[in-house]
Structure 1
């Protein structure tokens, strides 16, 4: 009660799309804010009202989630912009979005907005009805998420390999650690050694491994764990720009209180948190400015 007319209309359109537009075989994509990854799967059962479930879980469709750990960095900027809509239920259509999402489901890569990319799999049929509240998600963009994705893309393009280690070093130093960064080349599994105190030797001591290309596998996790044990480090940080493979996540289960993992979105959060304290040359390479906007324009 007391909601604005626009908010009510949006809720009705979203519920109607869930009820009448989604059918078995359709590809369903869900950006997950908690893990900062993207899940993709096939709808196995259309809309169903579950009266015995809690109110927030009564309107449902069933999905076979085939890929649940796709990093946002695997998706190109224009498609991220579309997926960043404030709408919950929508049907993207611009820039060959459907074909590209099919490719992401099957291969884990975004081929980009090519002129003609055939749909690879799927049995669902798209509705020919046009409804701007569902079919034009770009008109309802989540600008905060869109800005974050743009920064993520810029860092992913301009800070690879040793340059990403340099950016992480600057972030850690901005947070009060003294860092010793390994030079380019073989590093024995450690890119940055960090600690407190005038020499960086006081507790907590942190060993950092930085990986910018592809998902990180279990051997890298094992290597970091081994070096931490040998050097008796208090904590570890694994910067895995494209995230971890499933075996690597399993390998991490028993070390979650000693080793933290930063994927691409976590690096962006750390950069934004410390941006004002980063060196001027890094700020010049990654020029950002802060803006203010209404958090609820309809309110």
Structure 2
């Protein structure tokens, strides 16, 4: 099976007029002077880019080692050019080489461009896969679609036909939503621990229309936040847990023990609840359990009403996603 790679390169003239695929990280030097070893690439990246975020190093090293060592002559590459919104499909004709006198794109390979097609010639799923945030990546799902575009029987107007329907649209929309949910939950887990998560949940409750007060640090009452919908009862007591483990029944019972008659409780976790804990919540309707997935859904719903500091912490942009209605 042919391997199909995806490329993002801002220098469209270099790519399309000179028949080159190229990636950045110029300070890495000649990649062939490094052994075919991911750890060596990571070490070199840390040396020449000491200010890079910790998570960027393995990602960059992965792209660089693929470009230098994994790509083979005869592999295919898909390059979406932004200026004309065309999809360019080519075959790689040369080994890796280093161009030291270039400012940015010093890591290069020769490519022969075989076909240029409008984006409308491909399914939404295929286009979404080429929209990876990576500069160089393998097309794992829709690679064969781009290879089929090279054949004589390829219909470039198939997805423009009013009688056709792109069944990948629904899948793509759900993938985007799931990726967003994963991102939000990871940012919460990474940046908000303990009291910081309590403050965030209180801010979310205010965005939802509640008056919320965070309990003083160091208290052991089982109550992290007290909230009211308005000036009148009921009182809502909230406990927040930022740990990695699933919440047990006994932990929820500590919140129940702090509640007085007429109170309601809310338990918030970034993870989930054990089987027994879920059963306890089902049998205790005055306490609502919110797991990580449900918390993210609330964040997405009330995102625009969160304080600026939390929107900066979880940077999101509102977009419209195509969806597919399936008749049953």
TM-score, normalised by the number of residues in structure 2: 0.45
* Higher Cα Rg, which structure: 2
TM-score, normalised by the number of residues in structure 1: 0.49
